Amino acid sequence: MTAPPEGSFLSGQLPAAAEEPAAAAELAAAYEEPGLGRRALTSLRRDPVALISVLAVVVLALVAVFAPLLAPHNPLQAYPNGLSADGAPIAPGSQFLLGTDPNGRDVLSRLIYGAQVSLLVGVVATSLASIIGVLVGGIAGYAGGIVDSVLMRITDVVLSFPILLFCIALIAITGPSTRNVMLVIAFGYWTYLARIVRGLVLSLKEREFVIAARTLGIGHSAILRRHILPHLVPAIIVYSTLGVATSILIEASLSYLGIGVPLPQASWGQMISQGQQYFQSAPWLLIAPGVALIVTVLAFNLAGDWLTDLLDPETTGARR
Amino acid sequence: MTDPAHVQSIATEQTAAAPPVVDVRDLRVHFKVHRGLLGSQLVKAVDGVSFAIAAGETLGLAGESGSGKSTVARTLVRINRPTDGSVLLAGAETARLSGQDLRAYRRRMQMVYQDPYDSLDPKMTIKDAIGEGLSVRGVPRARRKSEVEELLARVNLPVALAGRYPGQLSGGQRQRVSIARALAVSPEVIICDEAVAALDVSIRAQVLNLLKDIQADAGVSYLFISHDLSTLRFMADRIAIMYVGRLVEYGAAEQVFSQPAHPYTQALMAAVPDIANLGGPRPAPLPGEPPNPASPPPGCAFHPRCPLAVDLCRTVAPPLVRKATGQLAACHVVPDAPEVTP
Amino acid sequence: MDLVADVITVEHLTVAFPAREGTGEVVRDVSLAIGAGERVGLVGESGSGKSLTARAIMRLIPQPGRVTDGTVCFDGAELGAKSAPTKWRGTKIAMITQDPLSSLNPLVKIGTQITEMLRYHRGLRRAEATAKAEELLRSVGIPDPRRTMTRYPAVLSGGMRQRVALAIAISCEPRLLIADEPTTALDVTVQAQVLTLLERMTAEHGSAVLLISHDLGVVGNFCDRLLVMYAGRIVESGPTAAVISDPAHPYTRALIASIPSLRGELPDRLASIPGSPPHGGAQAAGCAFAPRCPMAREVCRQTDPALLKISDLRTGPGDSHQAACHALGDENWNQAA
């Protein structure tokens, strides 16, 4: 065999710094992964169901935000021409696109404002629940020991109540109002996220990069902020999305029972409750809010599922 | 095994050369493991280990599963707390530190981990990961960028990688980033816990050469932990072999490799499939398996597998003393150096 | 290929995975032959395609990969997608892997897993199967076979599990045993035991062995013949002694030079190869090793070299020493540019 050329790796010298960057850069380019945005768009293109649900969520949000601009009439106003000659609600027609309710109020406008209420309650309640859940679960998981035990027992107690009954009980204490509905849902829903966050934090705590950070001498609050929290974000997003769906449903249930959003403010739950009584004579009173509720909750749930699939692989992050 | 004599013999080994940077004396790490409803068992992962590392020197720590070598590493960086014994860093006792003092100590002893894929936060860019180390040292933000670039150059990585995420790097590159992060705090000692075991063979040589260069450059001491004796022979100046929580052999690397004293060391070396030794006669492999540290055999833990075992071995644990060949070994059968047993 | 009939003949095997860029071929044009009772080693690092080659022989490529070209013949007959795998998998060709916890069912007792094999493939009755299983466990060195048969895999140590896996693999006297990194996860002293056991069992049962490992020492000490793979291709093949003492391909040479040794001279630095092995399928034209090769020239970057014979050394079936490098035989390679 011929002798290896001078300066080659076979004679044991370290490759010149110039060689390494070339090899490394070429390899670095090969590992380029598409960003989150691009992956999201690709996956939406492939999955029509997910695409429709995400669009529905977006549309709903827009409707809720721009309610005053979109609603053709004032939802709280009882229009004199809203009722027929013998005082019955008017069927859908040119003036009241979805008809009127027994008080002469425009159903469409109430539906649109109802969307606003639903979304408002959903988002606020879920955000509050997320904050409480992350705090409780994070502290329990990270601190461990007796703190963990105490916090988890409290969580278990709340979890043992079916959430709707829990909310009904709390509302009975606080009295019905939109604000109380939000608070009450938050106090019922935080437990689910607390459980999940605790589990995540427990396993994150043992990951080698967290141990490496402790070895570096990084303090606990910095570790929680820099290393633990970013890894919780995907789970938080997913559960918040599903949480909005649940919150909307609970709010609708409470309003249906008459202990949620008080009249005369419009809420899909109340509208359903009212529509039930008039189902024979004025079916549009039940169908409109019913369909709205189903579509909304379904859209949020499916969008949440899609988000899970999208964000979950990113949680681990490692490529082998 | 609180035998002052053997601890002393290790100490004299060291002071002859240079005052040690790391001086571990009779380290014990015991874990309580809960079994079922009632019982709990004491697992003596590390049971009376002493060694010393001089400045700029590499001590190799070898052993198989259950030997306790990883526990030693994790205890030195205080992931585990020592149950007993002392750890002196440049003469100062550090085994019982806490709070601010512990933080200061942590800066002086760093670790490079086995798993290149998990030891870096996948959501942090490389420059942030290394920057974290710099922040511990108190480097102001303005200077961090240039220092990160300097560190990347030192580990032979292109500066372009600074903005990337670990998922975009190869295993060898990630390991270099871990080394750069460890260097960022300017430690006196770096513990390499199987740092190259998870890398491809052709990449290991790069990283090993790099470690040697850094040592020559910065005078860092290494505690190099590996199950691979061939790698240890290349890296270590002195070597310590562990078996079920105790040291069985300790001495200069060349001495131990050319004339292993303890039968376990000899068996370990014979078991390594070496390409330099193809076609040569292969000795019968050592029978049995490394014992469970929760229930080690009485006396010398190696006796069930040892070809030289005698009655004494089954009852009395042998002390670590100087043997005729020059290094320290814990064996009743191997002849001692003349000054130990006249 | 030779006088002695080959147990397995692989020709021009190509396995591809769907890829965004490039062909996605992770095994490219691999041909090999294993004779009866022969011990062949397949050496490579990550991305070399060695494990997938083994799985291609077993027709067990994980989705979405596919065999896009080439044939695998067992005892002369082609193993296609249609040939009923249960007739030969486990019985004529058996496999043990790195982690026996994945090949052993953790929820089924060990005894049951062995007797299941014996009853299904060899039609033994329950009592016969139990007796044979015990005998098998004893022959692989399990200390208390009867008790072990009642236990679950998780309570055994790694070495013991590999012995059980070996017992199951051997139970139907396969003609070929594929061992994919069987000792990588084991302690070095246990590794020595398992390799010795593997040697003895395959000799006793007359099985050929395809041993796959990244550890040159392991394959070097066990196998008669070595195949070195890089980026999906075989870059060197030949009798073990020849490949290790006189490697022809620059990659093999560099690999051997970069491994620290337990005996012999101690270098100051290890000879290292710059860059990293390429991963999964994306490659430009030309020799895959060219970016890292100090002897690379223009021709290397353009055309992939074919396997050329170095010597006509005949020591057994499928034996000549071959390497895939443009520089082979060219005395003046290094003088020119």
The encoded tokens of residue B91 equal 């003469």
Residues linked to residue C177 through DSSP beta bridges, in sequence order: C94, C209
Q: Which residues contact C335 (CB under 8 A, 6 or more apart)?
A: none
Nearest CA in chain C to B230: C262
DSSP letters of B179-244? Answer: HHHHHHT--SEEEEESTTTTS-HHHHHHHHHHHHHHHHHH--EEEEEES-HHHHHHH-SEEEEEET
Within an 8 Å CB–CB cutoff, is residue B282 touching chain C?
A: yes
Question: Could you give the CA distance from residue B23 to residue A34 in angstroms, rounded to a whole number?
Answer: 50
pLDDT of residue B315: 92
pLDDT at A31: 46
Which residue of chain B is at minimal alpha-carbon distance from C241?
B278
Search chain B and give the residue with CA nearest A13. Answer: B209
Q: What is the interface size between B and C, counted as CB pairs within 8 Å? A: 137
Of C191, C261, C271, the CB nearest to B276: C261
Mean pLDDT of B247-271: 93
Amino acid code (one letter) for C19: A
Q: Which residues of A touch B165 (CB under 8 A)?
A: 317
Q: Residue C81: what pLDDT? A: 60
d(CA C45, CA C255): 10
Average of per-residue pLDDT values in chain A: 82
What is d(CA B39, CA B182) in angstroms, rounded to the nearest whole number? 41
Show pLDDT as tens, one digit a residue, over chain C (337 residues).
Answer: 444 567 888 888 888 888 766 677 888 888 888 988 899 999 998 888 898 898 888 888 887 888 888 888 888 777 766 666 767 777 788 889 888 777 788 888 988 988 888 888 888 888 888 999 999 998 888 888 999 899 998 888 888 899 999 988 888 888 899 999 998 888 899 999 999 999 888 888 888 999 999 999 999 989 999 999 998 889 999 999 889 988 889 999 999 988 888 888 888 888 888 887 777 655 667 888 888 888 888 888 888 777 776 654 444 444 588 888 888 766 667 655 4
Least confident of A199-213, B20-34, B129-143, C91-105: C91-105
Which residues of chain A does C269 touch, with a Cβ-Cβ cutoff of 8 Å? Answer: 12-14
C99-108: long-range contacts at Cβ-Cβ below 8 A with a sequence spacing of 24 or more? C99/C185, C100/C153, C100/C158, C100/C161, C100/C162, C100/C164, C100/C165, C101/C153, C101/C154, C101/C161, C103/C165, C104/C153, C104/C161, C104/C164, C104/C165, C104/C168, C105/C153, C106/C152, C106/C153, C106/C154, C107/C152, C108/C152
Q: Which of C45, C42, C22 is nearest to C30 (CA)?
A: C42
Query: Is B62 at the interface with chain A, CB within 8 A?
Result: no
- Using the Cβ of B121 and the Cβ atoms of chain A, whether some distance falls under 8 Å is answered with yes
First to last CA, chain B: 23
In a domain, A264, yes or no: yes
Higher pLDDT, residue B337 or A4: B337
**Rg of chain B (C-alpha set):** 21
Q: Hey, is the C-beta of A27 within 8 angstroms of any chain B C-beta?
A: yes
Give residue B168's pLDDT.
Answer: 85
For the purposes of burial, counting CB atoms within 10 Å of the CB of C147, is it exposed (0-12), middle (13-18) or buried (19 or more)? exposed
pLDDT digits (tens, 9 = 90+) for B117-164: 899 999 899 999 999 999 888 888 888 999 999 999 999 899 988 989
Judge: B118–A318 Cβ closer than 8 Å, yes or no.
yes
- Kindly list the structural domains of chain C, giving each domain's residue range(s) and its CATH number in brackets, ordered by start: 6-92+179-323 (3.40.50.300), 102-173 (no CATH)
Note the pLDDT of residue B174. Answer: 92
Distance between CA A175 and CA A262 in Å, rounded?
10
**Are A20 and C274 inside 8 Å of each other by CB?**
yes
The answer, for C282 touching chain A at a CB cutoff of 8 Å, is yes
- CA–CA separation, C332 and A209 (whole Å): 51
Which of A28, A217, A231 is facing B136, going by the closest CB pair?
Answer: A217
Tens-digit pLDDT profile for residues A113-155: 889 888 999 999 999 999 999 999 999 999 988 999 999 999 9
The number of CA neighbours under 13 Å toward the Cβ of C16 is 16
Contacts of C60 (CB under 8 A, 6+ apart): none
Give the distance from CA B84 to its chain's centroid: 19
- B chain contacts of residue A215, beta-carbon cutoff 8 Å: 77-79, 106, 110-111
Q: How far is CA A292 from CA A58, A284, C19, in A?
A: 14, 12, 43
CATH 3.40.50.300 residue ranges of chain B are 1-90+196-203+225-272+284-342, 97-187
**What's the gap between Cα B50 and its chain centre?**
12
Residue B62: the pLDDT is 94
Torsion over CA: C318, C321, C323, C329 (sign)? negative
State the angle between helix axes of A208-216 and B171-184 in degrees (0 to 180), rounded to the nearest 10: 20
Token match 């709990």: residue? B40
Of the candidates A3, A7, A23, which has its C-beta nearest C274's C-beta? A23
Stated pTM of the model: 0.83
The answer to whether the CB atoms of B271 and C191 lie below 8 A apart is yes
Confidence band, pLDDT 50/70/90 cuts, at residue A316: very low
Q: What total of structural domains would you count in chain A? A: 1
A17-26, A301-310, C327-336: which range is least confident on average?
A: A17-26
Average pLDDT over residues A301-307: 88
Give me the CATH number covering residue A271: 1.10.3720.10
E-strand ranges in B102-195 read 109-112, 189-193
CB C228 within 8 A of CB C52: no
Cβ separation C217–B272 shorter than 8 A: yes
Which residues span the domain enclosing A166?
47-67+106-316
Q: Can you read off the two tokens belonging to residue B181?
A: 């992060």
Distance from CA of C292 to the nearest CA of B (A): 11
Q: How many CB atoms lie within 10 A of CB A318?
A: 13
pLDDT band at A101 (very low <50, low <70, confident <90, very high): confident
B160: which DSSP letter?
G
Three-state secondary structure call for residue B295: coil
pLDDT per residue as tens digits for the range B301-314? 999 999 998 999 99
Q: Which chains are adjacent to chain B, needing at least 3 Cβ pairs under 8 Å? A: A, C
At residue A28, the pLDDT reads: 43
Helix (H, G, I), strand (E, B) or coil at B155: coil
Pairs of residues, one from chain A and one from chain C, whose beta carbons lie less than 8 Å apart: 56
3-state secondary structure chain C: CCCCCEEEEEEEEEEECCCCCCCCEEEEEEEEEEECCCEEEEECCCCCCHHHHHHHHCCCCCCCCEEEEEEEEECCEECCCCCCHHHHECCCEEEECCCHHHHCCCCCCHHHHHHHHHHHHHCCCHHHHHHHHHHHHHHCCCCCHHHHHCCCHHHCCHHHHHHHHHHHHHCCCCCEEEEECCCCCCCHHHHHHHHHHHHHHHHHHCCEEEEEECCHHHHHHHCCEEEEEECCEEEEEEEHHHHHHCCCCHHHHHHHHHCCCCCCCCCCCCCCCCCCCCCCCCCCCCCCCHHHCCCCCHHHHHCCCCCEECCCCCCCCCCCCEECCCCCCCCCCCCCC
Provide, as residue numbers in chain C, all residues whose Cβ is less than 8 Å from the Cβ of B277.
Answer: 221, 262-263
What is the average per-residue pLDDT within A228-252? 90
Q: Does domain B97-187 have CATH number 3.40.50.300?
A: yes
Task: Say how far apart CA B143 and CA B141 lie, in whole Å.
Answer: 5
Fold of B1-90+196-203+225-272+284-342: Rossmann fold (3.40.50)
A255 inside domain: yes
* CB contact at 8 A, C278 and C288: yes
3-class state of residue B323 by DSSP = strand
Q: What is the mean pLDDT of chain B?
A: 88
- CA-only gyration radius of chain C, Å: 21
**What would the two tokens of residue C172 be?**
């139907």
Q: So what's the ipTM on this one?
A: 0.85
Q: Which conformational region is residue A183 in: left (phi greater than 0), alpha (psi within -120 to 50 degrees), or beta? A: alpha
Q: Are C130 and C111 in contact (CB under 8 A)?
A: yes
Q: Under DSSP, is residue B91 helix (H, G, I), strand (E, B) or coil?
A: coil
Q: Do B201 and C244 touch (CB under 8 A)?
A: no
Query: Is the distance from CB of C326 to CB of C312 less than 8 angstroms?
Result: no
Nearest CA in chain A to B166: A318
Token digits of residue B272 = 């390594």
Report d(CA C334, CA A2) in Å as an integer.
Answer: 8
Q: What is the mean pLDDT of residues B259-288?
A: 85
CA distance C328 to chain A (A): 9
Q: Indicate whether A20 pLDDT > 60.
A: no
A15 and C274 in contact by Cβ < 8 A? Answer: yes
What is the end-to-end Cα distance of chain A in Å, rounded? 37
What does the pLDDT read at residue B337? 84
- The single residue listed with the structure tokens 């070339």 is A22
β partners of residue B241: B62, B249
pLDDT digits over B58-70, tens only? Answer: 999 999 988 999 9
**Of the candidates A50, A70, A51, which has an alpha carbon nearest to the alpha carbon of residue A62?**
A70
Instruction: Provide the token pair at A126.
Output: 């879920």
Residue B264 confidence (pLDDT): 94
In angstroms, the CA A143 to CA B85 distance is 28
Of the partner residues B123, B157, B160, the one whose CB lies closest to the CB of residue A231: B123
Sheet holding C6-16, edge to edge: C25-35, C6-16, C66-74, C77-78
A229-247 as b/e, with b when 16 or more CB fall inside 10 Å? bebbebbbbbbbbbbbbbb
Do the beta carbons of residue C10 and residue C49 sit within 8 Å?
Answer: no
pLDDT value at residue A7:
34
Using CA atoms, how far residue C114 sits from A213, C92, C145, in Å, is: 47, 16, 12
Contact with chain C for residue A68, Cβ under 8 A: no
Are the C-beta atoms of residues B265 and B241 closer than 8 Å to each other?
A: yes
C260 touches chain A (CB under 8 A): no
